[in-house]
Amino acid sequence: MLKVLIVDDDEVDRMAVRRSLNTSDMNITLLEASDYLEAMDFLEDTSFDCVFLDYRLPGKDGLALIQEIRATGNKVPLVVLTGQGDEQIAVELMKAGASDYITKSRINSELLSKTIKNVVRIYKAESQIELFNKQLIETNEQLKRKNEELEEKQRQIHLQNIKLLEAAELKSKFLATMSHELRTPLNAIMAFSQMLIRKTKEKLSASEADMLERVYNNGKNLLALINDILDLSKIEAGGLQLSPEEFDIAQLVKMTTDELRALAEQKQISLNIFLNIQSYKIINDRTRVRQVLVNLISNAIKFTETGGVTIQINEIYPDRLVIAVKDTGIGIASEDLRHIFEPFRQINQSNSRPYQGTGLGLAITDSLVKMMNGCIYVKSELGNGSEFSFELPRSL
């Protein structure tokens, strides 16, 4: 049901409008006001779908009433009723905010019905547009606030990244400095202990000789750990440079395996090599390839108690080969596989773990393989051994 207000000081004119609306096909509730003040009271207390407004009102005319209604923010459709010859005035009323105008002499049921439907339809459309624009403004404001929050977070992340980079650089410099400082006295300890072993071995008791051997061997182990830390610090600081050269990969694998064979013999496990490539010549950093092999083969031996370790070279493409190190050792749980190439990461972190080390070997290996334009993979199952394989290009 539509609610309509008729504002006119002439009873006859109001009756004409009322009669026409009552005979229309619309369901309408009518209220009437005879002057400006009564009309404003109605508009303050009641929400209308349409207002028919006489232009010539006592006290204030229709133009003043329209301006005041619009000034309050009320956008109810206003249809002005004018006398004959007031078309120019009607145009001014439209500019002031009227929705339409009708000459009183033309009032009839069909025209009023058509006019109400038209202005109400336009009013609803404009209201929807206004609501949409309001929602759009609110959405834009929310997006603006979100963007400001994101920009602030990005700024904080950027500052945090700068701090992290600075901390990483300081850490790398510290590790490099400490590694150099530790190596000097350690080399002296190893040299003196080796000299004592060589020159006084026959004069020492078995326990004294054993103690010197332990000093020397522990020095070697400590030096290897320091070298790992130094390599890691160089890699992180971007200071490690490769030195490509042509060499025989099969010869390097055999030589490296033979150097580590004593470790396997001590544990009574097998150590075998299989070569499945046509050409053994590659161009890469021989020292760093050997370092990768030592890390992978010594790890495989360390974590294998029964069975053995197999090293295999395969040619997967004419310009790429893959070296796989497979063992029958303790294996790695699936949930731990994603962490094994992280620095200082060991699966068993407790002080009582049976396998010692810094946890740097695989992290260094991963970094070195990537530096040599290669990639490294691991397949493992807890209790069923592991297979580490790395691809390398034939020419760096």
> What is the DSSP pairing of strand 245-248 with strand 281-284?
antiparallel
> In the structure encoding, which two tokens stand for residue 268, read together?
């009574």
Region 386-396: what's the mean pLDDT?
94
User: How many whole angstroms from its chain centre is CA 95?
Assistant: 54
State how far the Cα of 259 lies from the Cα of 28, in Å rounded to an integer.
Answer: 104
State how far the Cα of 157 lies from the Cα of 164, in Å rounded to an integer.
Answer: 10
State how far the Cα of 101 lies from the Cα of 82, in Å rounded to an integer.
Answer: 7
The pair phi, psi for residue 206, each rounded to 5°, is: -60, -40
pLDDT of residue 344: 61
* Structure confidence by residue, pLDDT tens digits, 250-299: 999 999 999 999 999 999 999 999 999 989 999 999 999 999 999 999 99
Conformation bin of residue 379: beta by default, left when phi > 0, alpha when psi is -120 to 50? beta
CA angle 136–142–145, rounded 5-degree value:
140
State how far the Cα of 168 lies from the Cα of 295, in Å rounded to an integer.
Answer: 25
* 284 against 396, higher pLDDT: 284
State how far the Cα of 354 lies from the Cα of 194, in Å rounded to an integer.
Answer: 28
pLDDT of residue 147: 93
Q: Is the pLDDT of residue 45 over 60?
A: yes
* Structure confidence by residue, pLDDT tens digits, 7-28: 998 999 999 999 998 888 888 8
* Structure confidence by residue, pLDDT tens digits, 88-146: 777 788 888 898 888 888 889 999 999 999 999 998 898 889 889 999 999 999 999 99
pLDDT of residue 353: 41
Domains in the chain, ordered, with CATH?
2-107 (3.40.50.2300), 163-237 (1.10.287), 245-393 (3.30.565.10)
Residue 347's pLDDT band (cuts 50, 70, 90): low
